[in-house]
Structure 1
Amino acid sequence: MTLIMILFWALLIVGGVALVHYLTGARRGHRPGPPSQEESGWSNRRAEDLLAERYARGEIDEDEYRRRLATLREQR
């Protein structure tokens, strides 16, 4: 019985904190759901960094690296 009461109060507190976080985020103009590319800071520079990491790990060869890098830079 004690364990159930502790779980109940923990769930109630966590739910309250989540609700406050959601409501205060909505007031600041944040929309629920995944962030857009601008909000998340995603850019061609980040894509180039990821591509360079894949090349360094040997996941892609030099030709593929250069081809994809050229494609990314053309889209700017």
Structure 2
Amino acid sequence: MTIKKLSSKKAIILFEEAVSLEDIPNMTNIAELEELIDKAKFDKKTETELKNRLKLLRTESVEHSKAFSGLVKYALKKEDGL
């Protein structure tokens, strides 16, 4: 089965499964998913839905990175006794 023959519902389910395989997807994974969506000829509704989910995922990934960075900085300050 090619990507072009996937139903909208199945495409979104596969997208969710792919995303759930990563604890925190990185920007490379997100870019690869975006490229896949662009190459596949989904109907406009499905393409919009998948791109909206990607946008949310990108935002969440950035926020996770900021939070992790903040925790590392805090731990380093604690270790230095600051």
Shorter-chain TM-score tier: 0.3 to 0.5
Higher helix share: 2
Larger radius of gyration: 1
Q: Which gives a bigger RCO, structure 1 or 2 (Cα 8 Å, sep 6+)?
A: 2
With normalisation by structure 2, the TM-score equals 0.35
